[in-house]
Structures are given as C-alpha cells and as structure tokens.
Amino acid sequence: AIQMTQSPSSLSASVGDRVTITCRASQGIRNDLGWYQQKPGKAPKVLIYSASNLQAGVPSRFSGSGSGTDFTLTISSLQPEDFATYYCVQDNNYPFTFGPGTKVDFK
C-alpha cells in the first residue's frame, strides 16, 4: 500500500497567517491527491482534488500544488472558520490511503 505522510502533525497559527501543509507519498501518484478539511463531529469536506483543482464553493484562499510524490496545501490568509484538521488522500492506487492529518489550531 502507498504510505502517505503529512507535516506538520499540528500547527498553531493566527487569523491572517499564511499556512502551508505538506504531504508526501511513498511512491509516485501522478496528481491523484485530494485535500480534505474536517471539523470535530463532522464529515470531511473536499477542498482540493487532483492536487491543484479547487472544489466549487471553496474559498480561493485555499490552493494546492504538487505532482508525483510531494504535495502542498496552502491557506493564504487563515480565517476563523479554517481551524480544523486537514487530510491528504491518494486515490491513484488501491487501497486508497490518507495521511495522518494536520491539526490547525489557535496560536
């Protein structure tokens, strides 16, 4: 199975900060990578699909980049509603696998 790692595992930030989360795959997955946001007690929500495509309705402060094994999610200016846990997931190969998550909380 493809192993996904994320860094950092958690970060503390303030409203307005630029936040960058990285995700690495144990082998090349082309651009078959999505980013999901999850708030406590809620289902995940798709932010980015195919590494760099913004899901409809998601604010443009979210962006994704990368291909192959290294990927990045960037929040250009953190807003109060962005405090959550973020997961990357590869759907290039079965079994689909998630990164362990990055928790973004208040500094």
49 contacts another protein (rule: CB under 8 A): yes
Among 21, 23, 34, 75, binds another protein (CB under 8 A): 34
Regarding 98 and contact with another protein (CB under 8 A), the answer is: yes
Distance CA 29, CA 53 (A): 16
Q: How many residues bind another protein (CB under 8 A)?
A: 24
For residue 64, how many other CB atoms are within 10 A of its CB?
A: 23
CA distances from 16 to 64, 65, 86, 106 (A): 18, 21, 18, 11
| Angle at the Cα of 27 from the Cα atoms of 22 and 29, rounded to 5 degrees | 75
Site membership for another protein, residue 97 (CB under 8 A): yes
Residue 87 per-residue DSSP state: E
Write out the binding residues for another protein, residues 51-70 only, by CB under 8 A: 53, 55
AA letter at 19: V
Closest distance of CB 41 from another protein, Å: 9
- Gyration radius of the chain's alpha carbons: 13
Q: Does 99 bind another protein (CB under 8 A)?
A: yes
Which of 16, 60, 81, 94 touches another protein by CB under 8 A? 94
In the complex, which residues of this chain contact another protein (CB under 8 A)?
A: 1, 32, 34, 36, 38, 43-46, 49-50, 53, 55, 87, 89, 91, 94-101
